[in-house]
Amino acid sequence: MNHAYEIHRAQIQSILLAWGMSAEHAATTADVLSYADLCGIDSHGMSMLPPYDRLRRADLLRLGAEPKVIKETPVSAIVDADGGLGHPAGKLAMEVAIAKARASGMASVVVRNTAHYGACGFYTKMAADAGLIGMSTTTTPGVTVAPTGGAQGRLGTDPWSMSAPGAEGKPFLLDMATATVASGKVRNKANEKLPVPLGWVMSSAGEPSTDPLDLIERKGFLTSLGGTPEGASHKGYGLAAMARILSAGLAGAPMLLRPEEASQPPTGSLAHFFFVLDPGLFRDADAFRADVEEFSDSLRQTRPVHPARPVQVAGDPERANAARRLQEGIPVGAGLLAQVRALADASGAEWLLG
């Protein structure tokens, strides 16, 4: 079933308000979650409400949290998220990083004592929209990804996002997990009782699997980006490790969760990292933006293998999804819709999705 973006976003916000988030932070969190669904990043949108609810019920998440800057210099800051969801803290951190980069040319901000912050491209897009280069990475809950050569989960999906301003409304915007897929994509398959493609998941014995429940219920794990050593999974493994070093390492958060914490990470155990760079430090900013636009267009003009599938640049698929879903509505599978309806009923939130 498809729903208009405004209704979809309002349903998310209604549940967050019923859970006790302030109006400001519920609006921010709904913005980030509905952005993900609008762009086709369904693993990080409305489907996150059920796992957030489980954390809330287990007293592992503070819905009334108030993030704040606790330390800063002209080019850096530390934000404490107060044990709450990372979306309000992440937006605050990127706003601080942008302001400092405009004043000093570059800035780095870390967030500690935080939880899941949604799709990291939301934050780097803020930098690109401000005419700046942005980067963000984060630790993620659980130990769902095995290092190359390992048969045990030791890392999270630990994503990276990088952005650069280009054509108006069309920045370069890379948002990627360091696992072959985000765990939310496996969760979405499980919600709809569908198999996962071969190469996404390994069983607890280290064997390839197409059953999403091998990851969700049977202590299996995701593969590092690349899938196998022969497929260069060491690259995804290395990127994940560096994500931990920049976010958890700088913020003083846990670098590695224990296996028993996979399903219920300690309150505020995650960390986020943000970096913003003003291209005007090096050359005329408008000329830089024009070069990024020309470069991106030249990539798009590459002769495609399949004429019906032209070459795209990072950010293009998400923008295409957003344009289509603004017209056609945002799809929500029956399994997820039932779960969200149950959350709304249990919390007393108004049901808006019909």
Q: What is the DSSP string of 201-270?
A: EE-TTS-EE--THHHHTS--EEEBTTSSTTTTHHHHHHHHHHHHIIIIIHHT--SS--GGGSSSPPTTBE
Q: Which CATH number fits domain 1-57+301-354: 1.10.760.10, 2.170.190.11, 1.10.1530.10, 3.40.190.10?
A: 1.10.1530.10
pLDDT for 238 equals 97
- Kindly tell me if the per-residue pLDDT of 104 is higher than 90: yes
pLDDT for 262 equals 56
Q: Which CATH number fits domain 64-180+224-282: 3.30.1370.60, 3.40.50.20, 3.90.105.10, 3.40.50.10090?
A: 3.30.1370.60
- Kindly tell me if the per-residue pLDDT of 24 is higher than 70: yes
pLDDT for 77 equals 98
| Burial of residue 46, with CB atoms counted within 10 A of its CB: 0-12 exposed, 13-18 middle, 19 or more buried | buried
pLDDT for 53 equals 97
Q: Coil, helix or strand for 114?
A: strand
- Kindly tell me if the per-residue pLDDT of 345 is higher than 90: yes
Q: For a pLDDT cut of 70, what percent of the chain falls above it?
A: 97
Q: In what order do the strands lie in the sheet with 201-202?
A: 145-146, 221-223, 201-202, 208-209
Strand partners, 208: 202
Distance CA 29, CA 17 (A): 10
- Kindly tell me if the per-residue pLDDT of 76 is higher than 60: yes
Instruction: Give residues with Cβ within 8 angstroms of 84, minimum separation 6.
Output: 25, 61, 62, 63, 64, 65, 66, 67, 114, 115
Distance CA 120, CA 183 (A): 15
Backbone angles phi, psi at 179, to 5 degrees: -95, 170
For the chain, the straight-line distance linking the first and the last C-alpha, in angstroms and rounded, comes to: 10
Distance CA 271, CA 93 (A): 12
pLDDT of 259-302, one tens digit each? 666 556 678 899 999 999 999 999 999 999 999 999 999 999 99
Closest alpha carbon to 128 in 97, 157, 104, 158: 97
What mean pLDDT do residues 109-113 have?
98
CB atoms within 10 A of CB 265: 22
pLDDT for 259 equals 62
pLDDT of 296-315, one tens digit each? 999 999 999 999 999 999 99
Distance CA 106, CA 334 (A): 45
The model carries a pTM of: 0.92
pLDDT for 148 equals 87
Note whether 159 and 140 are within 8 A (CB): yes
Closest alpha carbon to 148 in 211, 239, 270: 239
Same topology, domains 1-57+301-354 and 64-180+224-282? Answer is no
Burial 63-78 (b: 16+ CB within 10 A, else e): bebebeeeeeeebbbb
Q: What Cα–Cα distance (Å) separates residue 202 from each residue in 157, 252, 265?
A: 14, 31, 22
Note whether 8 and 31 are within 8 A (CB): no
Closest alpha carbon to 170 in 274, 283, 320, 285: 320
Locate the domains of the chain by residue range: 1-57+301-354, 64-180+224-282
Say which amino acid occupies 340.
V
